[in-house]
Amino acid sequence: MGKALEGVRILDFTHVQSGPTCTQLLAWFGADVIKVERPGIGDITRGQLRDIPDVDSLYFTMLNHNKRSITIDSKNPKGKEVLEALIKSCDVLVENFAPGALDRMGFTWERINQLNPRMIVASIKGFGPGPYEDCKVYENVAQCAGGAASTTGFDDGPPLVTGAQIGDSGTGLHLALGIVTALYQRTRTGKGQKVTAAMQDGVLNLCRVKLRDQQRLAHGPLKEYPQYPDGTFGEAVPRAGNASGGGQPGWILKCKGWETDPNAYIYFITQAPVWAEICKVIGKEEWITHPDYAKPEARLPRLTQIFATIEEWTKTKTKFEAMEILNKYDIPCGPILSMKELAEEPSLRKTGTVVEVDHPTRGKYLSVGNPIKLSDSPVEVTRSPLLGEHTDEILAELGFSKEAIAAMRAEKAI
Ligand code: CAO
């Protein structure tokens, strides 16, 4: 069986997390991803947060599967020659350098377009055009500037960042979609184009419902928020704690063992169509017809008390026991799963969402595989490349002779 992106060649000039997530996805879909790294140093994450001395970190290995690595000094004239050859032979260049870095190397859009008019040049930057366009950006800066932090956390606490890497991996996902879309358009136009995804924009896109709520606020209090009915609303959307963000109220509730297990909790949604079932399960049959509880609108000012009552029930069950009972009645709920539980979950191993990968210097480790499943494009997750592992192989493919390669190496261009 072939792969969806077979035949697509990617010049992967990415580093750290946002860009590598994007090119890793493209590699999983079958593209030949050639990662260009600085000689002797490589992607900075190879050495960051190391758990084993002198071995590529999990940070690097988990973001660079299925790629090949070539080391090129992009500021050396001979290195630039190799890059030009790569630009001519690849379909897409992906980069997430600080603003202006690619131009400073001499690879402006005009130059790239001249070398290969079919090339798609895809970039991640922290911000789009505007006051911050020249700024360097990391994950949490994007979460803060994109509206996630101001809307995450509890009302009486500071803004919070989330563990989900919505700034980096989220923007990588956005860029990947932009790239395949541009590739599709190229099949008709024959022309390349620029694709850009700013991390602030990517985060804001994922915070779309909060901009919805900002506008609803002009028409009165947000009745599903924990601030209603007793708290006050200011001018901006407040932090909503664990409220659901949708039309069906929800909250995180304690389960049996919560005193010692930090993840003994369940997310519980009081979905209107199963309200009667919820009342029966928790032993509050009278709420089915009581005017204060029977209708969703009547329940809104009482959500805190309602969830406290439901919690009295969930505290008597483990999160998995509660799941089993609630699922019988189609009551939407979800256990708070720890990373340990996810790593050990057999169903995720079976679908390839969690995979074990072997690495020559690290040994076996766990990674997250491709979460997007294509029925005609199976994914086999292979290990990340060692620094410069494919330099000679790629240069030979580009037509450089053994002698030319040796000369470039002596000059430290590669
Ligand atoms: N050979 C020679 N030089 C190279 C090279 C190579 N193969 N690869 C990169 N370089 C050079 C760049 O040309 C640049 O040099 P100049 O500053 O002289 O132009 C230099 O290395 C540093 O690149 P950088 O500015 O991109 O890297 P940084 O570590 O200083 O900043 C980051 C990192 C992530 C803050 C910045 O790249 C950035 O803002 N990127 C865009 C947003 C983004 O993707 N952020 C997410 C990062 S993941 O959390």
CA of 15 to the centre of ligand 1 (A): 8
341-378 core/surface letters (b: 16 or more CB in 10 A; e: else): eeeeeeebeeebebbebebeebeebbbbbbeeeeeebe
Nearest CA-CA partner of 44 in 159, 136, 147: 136
Q: What is the dihedral of CA 255, 256, 257, 263, to 10 degrees?
A: -20
* Residue of the CA atom closest to atom 23 of ligand 1: 97
| Rounded Cα–Cα distance for residues 5 and 29 (Å) | 5
Buried-state track 73-92, b at ≥16 Cβ within 10 A, e below 16: bbebebbbbbbbbbbebbbb
Give the 3-state secondary structure of residue 70. strand
Q: What does the CA dihedral 390, 89, 94, 21 come to, rounded to 10 degrees?
A: -50
How far is the C-alpha of 44 from the C-alpha of 35, rounded, in Å? Answer: 13
CA of 168 to the centre of ligand 1 (A): 15
CA max distance for the chain: 87
Q: Which residues pair with 198 in a beta bridge?
A: 125
For atom 15 of ligand 1, which residue has the closest CA? 101
Question: pLDDT (tens digit, 0 to 9) for every residue of the chain, 414 residues total?
Answer: 699 999 999 999 999 999 999 999 999 999 999 999 999 999 999 999 999 999 999 999 999 999 999 999 999 999 999 999 999 999 999 999 999 999 999 999 999 999 999 999 999 999 999 999 999 999 999 999 999 999 999 999 999 999 999 999 999 999 999 999 999 999 999 999 999 999 999 999 999 999 999 999 999 999 999 999 998 999 999 999 999 888 999 999 999 999 999 999 999 999 999 999 999 999 999 999 999 999 999 999 999 999 999 999 999 999 999 999 999 999 999 999 999 999 999 999 999 999 999 999 999 999 999 999 999 999 999 999 999 999 999 999 999 999 999 999 999 999
For residues 340 and 334, give the distance between their C-alpha atoms in angstroms, rounded to a whole number: 16
Token pair 């660079």 is found at 64
Residue nearest to atom 5 of ligand 1 (CA): 38
Catalytic member of 168, 213, 292, 376: 168
Residue nearest to atom 46 of ligand 1 (CA): 138
d(CA 343, ligand 1 centre) in Å: 32
C-alpha 101 – ligand 1 centre gap (Å): 7
Q: Look at strands 354-359 and 363-368 and give their pairing.
A: antiparallel
Q: Which atom of ligand 1 is nearest to the CA of 39?
A: 7
Residue 186 Cα to ligand 1 middle (Å): 29
Ligand 1: lining residues by beta carbon, under 6 Å: 16-19, 36, 38, 72-75, 96-98, 101, 104-105, 124-126, 136-139, 168
The rounded distance, in Å, linking the Cα atoms of 171 and 196 is 10
**308: nearest Cα among 370, 226, 237:** 226
CA dihedral angle for residue 119, residue 124, residue 130, residue 133, rounded to 10 degrees: -110
Report the atom number in ligand 1 closest to the C-alpha of 126. 42
What would the two tokens of residue 117 be? Answer: 């008019």
> Is residue 168 flagged as an active site residue?
yes
Answer yes or no: are the C-beta atoms of 412 and 72 closer than 8 Å. no
Q: Of 99, 91, 79, which Cα lies nearest the Cα of 38?
A: 79
Pocket test of ligand 1: the residue of 13, 80, 97 to mutate, having most ligand atoms within 8 Å of its CB, is: 97
For residue 105, the ligand 1 atom closest to its alpha carbon is 13
